[in-house]
Amino acid sequence: MNNTQRIRQPLPVRRPTAFSQKPDRSSVVRVGLATVLLYLILVPQQFNITLGSFYLSPYRIFLLGATIYLLTSALSKSLRFVWPDLFLILSIIWITLASYMTSGQLTTAMVQGGSHLVDIGLAYFLARATIQTPTDLRRFLILAAPGVAFTGVMVFAEAVSHQYIVQSLASAVTGNPGPARADVRLGFMRGMASFPHPILAGIFLASFVPIYMLSGLRGLPRFIGWAGSMFAAFTMSSAALLGLVVGLAMYAYDWLTERFYNLTWRLFLSFAGLAYVVIEFSSNTGFYGLLVRYASLNSVSAYNRVLIWKYGSQNVAENPWFGIGYADWDRPDWMHSDSFDWFWLIVALRFGIPATVFILAAAIMAIGMIAWKSRQMAPADSRLLRGVAISLGVFSLGLNSVSLWLTTLAWFFMLVGIAVSLGTYAPQQARPAGRRVMVWKPHPAGGAPTGQGPPVRA
């Protein structure tokens, strides 16, 4: 086999023609709504208000108002209903039911179910309705770049100055209190900008790295978006650093798959799955225990996460269907902290295993849908879709050591919605981005092969 059969030629970078055209009015409205939601997610918590039992933040108020747009989109049939939509709806219904079963109060169930309806359901479906094409996503990334860059720079400034800047200014304006204490690691204060916790700021920023790197954008928007997201490292969060390392590593592997025929994502996933099984059954602590032991910046928090899994899973096993609500979970007396840094487990703890299964199924299906769709797209769009798949996959993996709430919860489900929307994208002219392999083409006259034929897709 000659070298042309072993080495895949780099796929040419082609800008989609629609991106160079003047956007239509509907596209401007769609992308504008998604951009407004993202910037409202970046508003500090000091601007949140409470009305009775309802905790209203600016992005929640916006999402409630956006239901009119969502209903219009549903009636116009611009959205095609798919399985992840059903699983997300079932998760909200189950959370509401579980809240009633654990509290016994309809008001409590409506408040808790309503908050998750906004943070999960409305954030997801607004992303589904607004980011409908790769071009929409690129325009969204251009508009989002200043916000991502500002957040990253503020995280860096807070880390080196040892002072909270964003939320201190917000407190001075609103009179609401700012962060209570500073946490220092390796000589840097854990910056968090407008987020309620450094780990939330870190995983939010890290999720943008593979998307901007594979976006196909050029010039300043791509640079400031990517550079800003890299400042996630200064949250000094193990989950954020792991997200950056894994995201960059998967970007590098994706670059190699376009150049070497034998390197494929199927091969990567096969070896990753095999490695997981081997580690899980050969290690005393399992894959997760090994990960938190060697990939954590703080040995105390790493050990605490192992304990959370041990005793938290026992609580889930005792209350598998509806969980325990927001009641305190059973654990040894010497575990004073009620922190529960494990999103997938805490959802099962509060609302039962079915709630976690529904949400996890939607996320996994979203990754699979957009990854499969990327195989059918032109090279530039294919890379963009793989960037979203990588981002969502790394984000979902990071939730094994993160508990999401409020703003970052809404962004995660925006990302799931974007993945599902692009995974169902049906362009009029979609060209497969298959591998380029040199093959012998028979001579038109039926003679011996000439080897002069053009590359064909295999």
Least confident of 378-382, 402-406, 415-419: 402-406
Q: Widest CA span of the chain, in angstroms? A: 86
Give 148-190 as a DSSP string: HHHHHHHHHHHHHHTS--HHHHHHHHH-----S---EETTEE-
The pLDDT value given to residue 286: 63
The pLDDT value given to residue 247: 94
Local confidence band at 298 (pLDDT 50, 70, 90 cut-offs): low
The pLDDT value given to residue 14: 44
Share of the chain above pLDDT 90, in %: 60
Question: Is the pLDDT at 79 greater than 90, yes or no?
Answer: no
The arithmetic mean of pLDDT across residues 445-450, rounded, is 40
The arithmetic mean of pLDDT across residues 42-66, rounded, is 91
The arithmetic mean of pLDDT across residues 278-292, rounded, is 66
Instruction: For residue 362, give the nearest of 128, 88, 116 by alpha carbon.
Output: 88
Cα separation, 191 vs 389, in Å, equals 27
With contact defined as beta carbons under 8 Å apart, do 123 and 414 qualify? yes
Is pTM beyond 0.85? Reply is: yes
Close Cβ partners of 271 (under 8 Å, ≥ 6 residues apart): none
The arithmetic mean of pLDDT across residues 412-431, rounded, is 85
Question: Is the pLDDT at 440 greater than 60, yes or no?
Answer: no
Local confidence band at 143 (pLDDT 50, 70, 90 cut-offs): very high
Cα separation, 290 vs 283, in Å, equals 8
Question: Is the pLDDT at 346 greater than 90, yes or no?
Answer: yes
The structure tokens listed for 235 are 């949250």
Cα separation, 13 vs 191, in Å, equals 37
Least confident of 188-202, 315-329, 443-457: 443-457
What is the DSSP secondary structure assignment for residue 47, as one 8-state letter? G
The pLDDT value given to residue 3: 47
The pLDDT value given to residue 285: 61
Cα separation, 291 vs 243, in Å, equals 13
The arithmetic mean of pLDDT across residues 442-457, rounded, is 39
Average pLDDT score, the chain = 85
What is the DSSP secondary structure assignment for residue 66, as one 8-state letter? T
Residue 337 or 50, more confident: 50
The pLDDT value given to residue 291: 64
The pLDDT value given to residue 437: 38
Least confident of 110-119, 225-234, 294-303: 294-303
What is the DSSP secondary structure assignment for residue 122, as one 8-state letter? I
Residue 265 or 58, more confident: 58
Cα separation, 90 vs 436, in Å, equals 43
Torsions phi, psi for 454 (to 5 deg)? -75, 160
The pLDDT value given to residue 95: 97
Give how far Cα 360 sits from Cα of 146, 157, 355, 400, 416, Å.
Answer: 31, 35, 9, 12, 11
The pLDDT value given to residue 304: 77
